[in-house]
Amino acid sequence: MAARSPSATSSSPERLAKLRQANAIVKNSWQYKCTGSARAAAVLAEHRTKRLVTGGPRGLAAQAAALIAQHGLDDTTYIYDLGNTMRLFRAWRAALPRVQPFYAVKCNPEPALMKLLAALGAGFDCASKAELEAVAAMGVPKDLVIFAHPCKRPCDLRYARDTGVSLTTFDTESELAKVSGAYPGIQLVLRIRCDDPEARCPLGLKYGANPEDARKLLAAAAALNLAVVGVSFHVGSGCKNLGAYSAAIATARGVFDIGAEVGHDMRLLDIGGGFTGHFDVHGHVQFGDIARTINTAIGEHFPVESGVRVIAEPGRYFAETSAALIAPVYGKRDRPTASGAVHKDYWLTDGLYGSFNCILYDDQKPQPLVLRSPLLPEVPEAQEEQQGLAETHESTLWGPTCDSADYVYKDVQLPELRNGDFLMFCNVGAYTVAGACDFNGISMTNPTKFYVFSGQAVDEAEEVEGSEEEEASEQESEEGGKAA
């Protein structure tokens, strides 16, 4: 055996000392103290994340004003609050301890968001080669990736084979034949239809096998020597009916039993997505009822001793409240109405072809908040605006393209704006920029981005106001009950 060189041996204590010093620096950083994770701290440092005491509309508006003043922003800009992302992850793990979240990349493939989730221990739900590549570039282990597309393009399936992706979904015999020819070694998950008809975006019409067809599909997979290891479902994006999860999990249990009868080793349950992640007026994640419903159903149909691994595919839950968008006004016009009033037209740097595609395709209704530019003189009615007492006008918010259908809202009430003022939209991290395109050659797919990490989701003033609104609402309910 060759002896170690003296130089290598002598440098070892120095190297260890440097490692200890580096470790001490990391653990003394605010990033580590806020996350408790060296990997998560590294993500925050990499993206030059600014620490904020509080987030919420007020905290983000103050940060946006500072960024406008510092950088002279004049285009669409996103502010990602990674503090919200971490709070949502911790709330998930506390509320659903048996369910490992696999972030749905399609919702928002923002690298900082994905890297933080990976550092915290999330898996990833990918639906294309590009999404698989993005996750692979972060070094995510193969057992934390599911290729959750029941009808894959052949080129994407070949990429999965060539890179060793180990898990994918299917819901037709056609897909089984495709997999058998291109990648018979991949493990399969049968997606069944169990959607909530009241969901914001029901998905069952396009994907998910009818449960009564499960035996035929599972037998077809066995005949092709393909391994089916589990069942998945998706109740629909923005699910409103808690009973949909209970019914779906019960149905999945029946399909599990059929799979075992046919000869498959069934060991994975994927409860899909449909989760929303909002904060109440006190900054707590609103997640109680849905978590209790899921935990009860899993405990009944897939108890711990069954050894079944349970995962989910939340996208909106993590992304929606993790981002705010600011868009400057760069054009305006007054239009007289038939009643003699004045209608205000404003042009924004973003529209239906950009992040506001969510209005058309996801039934979202992001609310505009006026953000006066710090680079312009202060308006006389600034105090009234902050108190919601300023005069408002019927206004239309036009997008930047030449398409006359490209408007965000018509007839929205706003105070008079100037060229250079901004509108801020909170809670726009889900299915917004991910669905944008660059129509007219106007860049809307790669907006400017900044990153913050708030210590809490709302500031004290918002918490007090929210509490007062809650008390007023409760009092009205009590009075209504007495009157009835």
Q: What is the pLDDT of residues 51-105, one digit of tens each?
A: 999 999 999 999 999 999 999 999 999 999 999 999 999 999 999 999 999 999 9
Higher pLDDT, 463 or 367: 367
Domain that holds residue 125: 83-320
Residue 19 within a domain? no
Q: Which of 320, 347, 370 is the endpoint of a domain?
A: 320
Cα–Cα distance measured from residue 191 to residue 194, given in angstroms and rounded to the nearest whole number? 9
Residue 29 within a domain? no
Higher pLDDT, 459 or 103: 103
Q: Which of 320, 351, 378 is the endpoint of a domain?
A: 320
Residue 44 within a domain? no
State how many domains the chain has: 2
- Cβ(346)–Cβ(394) under 8 Å? no
Q: Are residues 113 and 234 in the same domain?
A: yes
> Cβ–Cβ contacts within 10 Å for residue 436, how many?
22
Q: Could you report the per-residue pLDDT of 379-418, keeping only the tens digit for each?
A: 887 766 676 667 899 999 999 999 999 999 998 999 999 9
Q: Are residues 300 and 358 in the same domain?
A: no
Q: Are residues 387 and 293 in the same domain?
A: no
- Give the bridge partners for 323, in sequence order: 80
pLDDT for position 305:
97
Residue 26 within a domain? no
pLDDT for position 5:
47
Q: Is 155 a known active-site residue?
A: no
Nearest C-alpha neighbor of 81 from the set 321, 408, 328: 321
Q: Which listed residue (107, 402, 426, 437) is catalytic? A: 402
Q: Are residues 354 and 216 in the same domain?
A: no
Q: Is residue 188 over pLDDT 80?
A: yes
Over residues 282-307, mean pLDDT: 93
Q: Are residues 261 and 353 in the same domain?
A: no
Residue 66 within a domain? no
- CATH at residue 443: 2.40.37.10
E strand spans, 349-468: 368-371, 393-398, 407-414, 422-425, 448-454
Q: Is residue 329 over pLDDT 50?
A: yes
Cα–Cα distance measured from residue 433 to residue 162, given in angstroms and rounded to the nearest whole number? 30
> Cβ–Cβ contacts within 10 Å for residue 313, how many?
26
Share of the chain above pLDDT 70, in %: 88
Residue 71 within a domain? no
- Cβ(258)–Cβ(215) under 8 Å? yes
Cα–Cα distance measured from residue 8 to residue 16, given in angstroms and rounded to the nearest whole number? 12
Q: Is residue 464 over pLDDT 80?
A: no
pLDDT for position 484:
32
> Cβ–Cβ contacts within 10 Å for residue 139, how many?
8
Q: Are residues 310 and 450 in the same domain?
A: no
Q: Could you report the per-residue pLDDT of 5-47, keeping only the tens digit for each?
A: 444 444 688 777 776 777 777 888 999 999 999 999 999 999 9
Least confident interval from 259-263, 278-282, 423-427 = 278-282
Q: Could you report the per-residue pLDDT of 157-184, keeping only the tens digit for each?
A: 999 999 999 999 999 999 999 999 999 9
Share of the chain above pLDDT 90, in %: 77
Residue 69 within a domain? no
Q: Are residues 407 and 292 in the same domain?
A: no
- CATH at residue 178: 3.20.20.10
If you average pLDDT over every residue of the chain, what do you get?
Answer: 90
Q: How far is CA 22 from CA 15, 43, 50, 119, in A?
A: 11, 16, 21, 19
